[in-house]
Structure 1
Amino acid sequence: MPDNKFYDILGVARDASETDIKKAYRKLAIKYHPDKNPDPAAVEKFKELTVAYEVLSDTEKRELYDKYGEEGLKEGGAGFSPDDIFSLFFGGGGFGGFGGRGGRRGPRKGEPLQHNLKVTLEDLYKGKVQKLALQKSSKCPDCAGKGSTSKDGVKKCDDCHGQGFKVIHRQIGPGMVQKLQSQCPSCKGEGNVIREKDRCPKCKGNKTIQEKKTLEVNIDKGMKHGQKIVFPEEGDYESPDIVPGDVIVVLVQKEHPVFQRDGDDLVMEHELTLLEALTGFTFYITHLDGRVITVKNPPTQIIKQGDIKCIYNEGMPGYKRPFEKGRLFIKFNVVFPTSGQITPENAKLLEKILPKPKPVQKPVSHDGIDEEAVLHDFDTKQHSHSRSSAYDDDDEDQHGGHPQGVSCAQQ
Structure 2
Amino acid sequence: MTTCEDPFVVLGVAQEASREDIRSAYRRLAMRWHPDRNPSPAAAAEFKRLHAAYELLLDDERLAAWRAACHGAAADGAAVGDDLVQSLTLTLEQAAAGCHRTVELLHRVRCSSCAGSGRVQHSHSVPCPACSGCGRVVRTGGRTARCDTCGGHGYLRETACTNCAGSGWRNEPRTLEVTVPPALVGGERLRLARQAPLSPGDERRVAGDLYLEINLAAHELFVLDGLDLHCRVPVSIFRLLCGGRIEVPTLNGTTWIELPPWSPTAGDHRLAGLGFPGKGERAAGDLVLHPQGVQPQLAAREDCQLLELLDWRLAADLEQRAPLLADWQQQLRARREGPVV
Q: Which has the higher contact order (CA 8 A, sep 6+)?
A: 2
TM-score normalized by the length of structure 2: 0.49
